[in-house]
Amino acid sequence: MPRLTIDDLKKMRDQTAGALALRAGTARARVTIHMGTCGIAAGAREIMAALLGEIERQGVTDVLVTTSGCAGLCSREPMATVEVLGQAPVKYANLTPEGIQEVFRRHVLGGDVVTVSALASGCETTG
Amino acid sequence: MAYRSHVLVCAGTGCVSCGSYELGAAIEGEIAKRDLAGEVQLVRTGCQGFCAEGPVLIVQPDEVFYCGLKKSDVPTLVEEHLLKGRPVTRLMYTPPAAPAPVPTLSQIPFFAKQKLVVLRNRGLIDPERIEDYIARDGYAALAKALGDMTPEQIIQEIKLSGLRGRGGGGFPAGVKWATCRQAAIHRGVEPIVVCNADEGDPGAFMDRSIIESDPHSVIEGMVIGARAIGAQQGFVYIRHEYPIARERLAKALDQARAFGLLGRGILGTKFDFDISVVQGAGAFVCGESTALMASLEGRVGEPRAKYIHTVEYGYKNLPTNLNNVETWANVPLIINRGAAWFTAMGTGDVSDNPWNGSSGTKVFSLVGKVNNTGLIEVPMGITLREIIFEIGGGIPRGRAFKAVQTGGPSGGCLPAAHLDMPVDFDSLTAAGSMMGSGGMIVMDDQTCMVDVARYFIAFLTEESCGKCIPCREGLRCSLDVLTRITEGKGDEGDIALLEEMGGVMQDACLCALGSSAPNPVISTLRYFRDEYDAHIRDHTCPAGVCKALIHYEIDQAKCDGCHACVTACSTGAITGQVKYPHLLNQDLCIKCGACVDACKREAVLRA
């Protein structure tokens, strides 16, 4: 490791801060992938991998990805819930790896709900 | 690929001794088995504070806290929570008197009432990765201090913050720094900075936990201090008995050197400074400034008279600035966020005189008869009641609070009447105790205060270096008198004798170990004199602790002959036929009390 200067230190901080934001709980949005047995059988693990890959490609550090159990609509899995800070949560159904990546680009980053794959507004906890 | 979840496993000394390394390895194995290795990262953090419930871990970003984990819980935990996102309720923490487990940190009173400044990174970063510290604004204060501030400005900021020494004395750090800088300039010599990590109070582990969970915060504070004072050489004097802390500190120093944050030309400037680690050999007195310097030089760790302070003539007669671990760890935040942010926490107005109040926070190790033992950080001015009953969750088994001992062996015991007193340097001193380095031992109604005083005096008698007579002989004689009282052989004049010896020691001892040593006796005499009287006049121990003054009996009417006490008794003192009342042979009884704990019908009486 080369010895740092004051500018190097600042650059390093900016590059690494994202990973720690996850632990400190500061984020602008949260994407929940439903990982019940039905979800996993329908390909939720692939959806998760595609989403994490897309987040990495875009260099985004302030979006949380979590898992939760079955959302109750097993026939429409894989499903995901997108919660952008200060907006109502939106549930997406019948996702494909390309679908979740589009949801991430257009909804999480762009702010537009992807109506084609959106199921409904709301999530299990908020009704 | 970026991780979506972090599992923060506590690797403080407490949790390590409960098997947290093995637990972490099992979780890593399970994560790999479930093919989650690219998604979930396992991080070993420093002490997360809740030592009573170890081993503990936190799953982020869900903020779910798990405790008391066993290796057999791992498959369920990984499959349910990490894979399927269903937090496992049965492994969560249930606060005393709560109907059900609570999942998240912010809902657990133990965590919710705390204010983390010094411990800001605990449970959040891997203490062995400098990158984690930098990501949390680590070394930004050093960059600011080297790039934008003059040494005088740094000292002024620390003065304005009102930061007082966290090692016990409460001396304003900014004033000490300024004196040291001036002494060095005046004499044309290079000053030294030292970090005192010789934490020796029984039941205290604040400094150990700070170094274990965030060693870089101490290093950064020292580099800033060295810059302000003009030092090029620094020492950390750390106890040999802290293996994990020593190892993490050594790793952190190596990393800081590799990154150009220590050594020659720090952060590309012309400032040179490096830190060496010196190990203490378990002498309590070496926490005292002059004894510590003697030990650093390789001499016997004994104090000297302080007509001239170490800040002017310390290590090798050079001006030496000694601050404790927690004091150094506060420095980066004060430089980063400014003195005003720091003084917004705490008591009093320290704007023109740091002696007028206590700003910032204080770390305490909360131990003894309290439900949530552990490491806590609270704003100055919080009440003892909030600490013991809200953060600490009250006294176990519904017993009554009797006293809290603060300030280590030289501190004092405060009774229930002081529970609503604010916790700061001056209030504690006024009440006859002291802040000390932050040990807090809670006692219930089954604690004998004479025995407590005897315990601390016995500790200090062993640790007295013996150089000055008032300390060496005063402690030995006080211990004799106290032992006599606890054996029921006390005389009417004993209390006056203890008070007289205490007064002489306060006036005449060479160092603070001796001059503060009478505090446990004086404070218990002040608040619990009736217990001394009961021992001396009535030959009874009201708390039922002093073995010479108690005996056990079995209530023949209550005993149902369940035989539990017979099994518990290690000396065969209890005999009897099953289902018939038992008998206790006083000649064989060693008064250990095991039968009382074993009896479900309260048939064993202590008298």
What percentage of residues in chain B have a pLDDT greater than 70?
A: 100
The answer, for A66 touching chain B at a CB cutoff of 8 Å, is yes
pLDDT digits (tens, 9 = 90+) for B295-321: 999 999 999 998 899 999 999 999 999
The answer, for A41 touching chain B at a CB cutoff of 8 Å, is no
**Bridge partners of residue B10, in order along the sequence:** B45
Strands B233-239 and B57-60: unpaired
For the structural domain made of B551-606, what CATH number should be given?
3.30.70.20
Highest mean pLDDT among B303-312, B321-330, B405-414 belongs to: B321-330
The answer, for A4 touching chain B at a CB cutoff of 8 Å, is yes
What percentage of residues in chain B have a pLDDT greater than 90?
A: 79
Supply the Cα-derived Rg of chain B in whole angstroms: 26
Collect all residues of chain B within an 8 Å Cβ-Cβ radius of residue A101.
none
Is CATH 3.40.50.2020 what the domain over B5-112 is classified as, yes or no? no
Q: Which residues contact B360 (CB under 8 A, 6 or more apart)?
A: B117, B161, B162, B163, B330, B342, B343, B345, B346, B379, B380
Pick the CATH number of B130-350 from 3.20.20.150, 3.40.50.720, 3.40.920.10, 3.40.50.11540: 3.40.50.11540
Closest approach of A117 to chain B, Cα-based (Å) = 22
The answer, for A108 touching chain B at a CB cutoff of 8 Å, is no
Residue B2 to residue A55, Cβ atoms within 8 A: yes
- The ipTM assigned to this model is 0.76
pLDDT of residue A1 exceeding 70: no
Helices marked H in A1-127: 6-24, 37-41, 44-58, 97-103
- Domain count for chain A: 1
Residue A95's domain comprises: 29-121
Specify the pLDDT at position A127: 34
The answer, for B1 touching chain A at a CB cutoff of 8 Å, is yes
CA distance B193 to B177: 9
Q: What is the mean pLDDT of residues B85-93?
A: 89
Closest Cα partner for B527 from B607, B434, B416?
A: B416
Name the residue of chain A whose CA is nearest to B143's CA: A6
Residue B4 to residue A16, Cβ atoms within 8 A: no
Q: What is the mean pLDDT of residues A9-17?
A: 84
pLDDT of residue A33 exceeding 60: yes
The answer, for B39 touching chain A at a CB cutoff of 8 Å, is yes
Closest approach of A76 to chain B, Cα-based (Å) = 17
Q: What is the mean pLDDT of residues B491-511?
A: 95
**Is A6 a member of any domain?**
no
For the structural domain made of B360-444, what CATH number should be given?
3.10.20.600
Residue ranges of chain B that CATH labels 3.30.70.20? 551-606
Q: Which of B2, B135, B146 sits opposite A13 (nearest CB)?
A: B135
Q: Which of B61, B139, B147 sits opposite A66 (nearest CB)?
A: B61
Collect all residues of chain A within an 8 Å Cβ-Cβ radius of residue B138.
13
Q: Which of B6, B82, B84 sits opposite A22 (nearest CB)?
A: B6
Helix, strand or coil, per DSSP, at residue B510: coil
Residue ranges of chain B that CATH labels 1.20.1440.230? 449-538
The answer, for A3 touching chain B at a CB cutoff of 8 Å, is yes
Residue B60 to residue A23, Cβ atoms within 8 A: yes
Hey, what are B371's tokens? 């439900």
**Is A18 a member of any domain?**
no
Residue B134 to residue A16, Cβ atoms within 8 A: yes
Collect all residues of chain B within an 8 Å Cβ-Cβ radius of residue A66.
4-5, 61-62, 85
Interface of B with A in 142-161 (CB under 8 A): 143, 146-147
Is CATH 1.20.1440.230 what the domain over B449-538 is classified as, yes or no? yes
Q: What is the mean pLDDT of residues B438-465?
A: 95
Closest Cα partner for B435 from B361, B510, B332, B511?
A: B361
Collect all residues of chain B within an 8 Å Cβ-Cβ radius of residue A32.
85
Phi/psi for B480 (5° steps) reads -60, -45
Closest approach of B137 to chain A, Cα-based (Å) = 7
Is residue B9 a contact partner of residue B24, using CB atoms and an 8 Å limit? yes
Q: What is the mean pLDDT of residues A35-58?
A: 88
Specify the pLDDT at position A24: 72
**Is A69 a member of any domain?**
yes
Collect all residues of chain A within an 8 Å Cβ-Cβ radius of residue B3.
19, 22
Phi/psi for B242 (5° steps) reads -110, 70
**Is A104 a member of any domain?**
yes
Q: Which of B6, B139, B261 sits opposite A23 (nearest CB)?
A: B6
Q: Which of A4, A24, A52 sits opposite B2 (nearest CB)?
A: A52
Give the single-character DSSP code of A107. I
Interface of B with A in 217-276 (CB under 8 A): 258-261, 265, 267-269
Specify the pLDDT at position B423: 95
Taking CB atoms and an 8 Å cut-off, how many pairs form between chains A and B? Answer: 115
Residue ranges of chain B that CATH labels 3.40.50.11540? 130-350
The answer, for A1 touching chain B at a CB cutoff of 8 Å, is yes
CA distance B58 to B61: 9
CA distance A5 to B418: 52
Residue of B134, B214, B216, B271 best to disrupt the A interface, most CBs of A under 10 A: B134
The answer, for A34 touching chain B at a CB cutoff of 8 Å, is yes
pLDDT of residue A25 exceeding 80: no
The domain spanning residue A96 has which CATH number? 3.40.30.10
pLDDT of residue B2 exceeding 50: yes
**Is A12 a member of any domain?**
no
Number of Cβ within 10 Å of residue B330's Cβ equals: 26
**Is A17 a member of any domain?**
no
Q: Give the range among A106-110, B184-188, B287-291 with minimum mean pLDDT.
A: A106-110
pLDDT of residue A126 exceeding 50: no
Specify the pLDDT at position B456: 95
Q: What is the mean pLDDT of residues A99-108?
A: 92
Specify the pLDDT at position B72: 94
